[in-house]
Amino acid sequence: MAKKQNYIWKNDRNFALDNYEKQQLYYVVEANDIINKARHDLTARELKLMDFVISKIMPDDDKFHVIKTSMYELTKVLNIKQNGKNYSDMAKSIGELRKKEVLIHDEERRTITQTGWVQSAEYHENGQVEIELSPKLAPHLLGLKNNYTQHLLLDTTKLKSRYSILLYKLMRECDRDNGKSIAILQGTPEEFREWLGVPESYEYKHFKEKVLKKAVEEINLKIEDMDLEILQGRYGRKVVQVEIHNNWTVQRATAENANEIKNITTHDWVN
């Protein structure tokens, strides 16, 4: 049996130049291919870790730099309780990002890139951590001028479910005019399962109840500028089309309380 890896932290210092509240307001900027065409099985914590690392990329970076952080900083920014167990769990999650693969479809280049997320990670006894991203991710994270989406790191740190995080990113990608009109994500039930990484064995009724509705409810509760609603189209009795609308708009927010929590409603529509 392989020996269990122990991570021992001799220090609990904050090495960050910025306070964690300021860092939560950094933007996470990704090519749309990462959001709507990448296939992976990251957990909620792994998704948040990737968002944290991506938020450290500067707009004028022309190559990946080693991201220097610390366990103190990571747990603070990601709203995780600071203790030895969580530090070790965080290190394990970074290790999973090194081992897990992601498939990225690039329609323009007509390629599929198979790579990991993190190329290397180095842990120091004083609690500092150095993370280097896989260079194959560079075209999807550096020098983005078109076909990209950005969101505040703060938003995804609020969400607990991986499905909520993935749906949130898809809804941001659909919002092409920054809330001036209703953003709409549409697809077949099969496409939604693929986008959210849900097994094909899930029947639609279970997928809707256990995944979609719960993700929508969490997003509506925690994200101020999202008021999501599920609509579905049927052919006979079978659901063949699903739409999720973000009914929050800039115009509406000026007339209503933007912090009002809405209950999810589900109804049918016909093409």
In the chain, the domains with their CATH numbers are 20-141 (1.10.10.10), 160-269 (1.10.10.10)
Average pLDDT of the segment spanning 53-68: 94
Q: Any alpha helices (H) in 175-270, and if so which ranges?
A: 189-196, 204-207, 213-222, 250-255
Average pLDDT of the segment spanning 242-269: 64
Q: What is the mean pLDDT of the chain?
A: 87
Half-sphere exposure of 25 (CA within 13 A, CB side): 4
Task: Examine the pLDDT at 18 and tell me if it is beyond 80.
Answer: no
What is the pLDDT at residue 261? 43
What is the pLDDT at residue 259? 52
Q: Is 213 exposed, middle or buried (0-12, 13-18, 19+ CB in 10 A)?
A: middle
Q: Would you state the structure tokens that stand for residue 136, as one six-digit string? A: 């194959």
Q: Could you report the per-residue pLDDT of 33-45, keeping only the tens digit for each?
A: 999 989 999 999 9
Average pLDDT of the segment spanning 188-206: 91
Q: Who's near 39: CB < 8 A, 6+ residues apart? A: 102, 103, 194, 197
What is the pLDDT at residue 14? 59
pTM of this structure: 0.87
Helix (H), strand (E) at residue 208: none
Average pLDDT of the segment spanning 196-208: 89
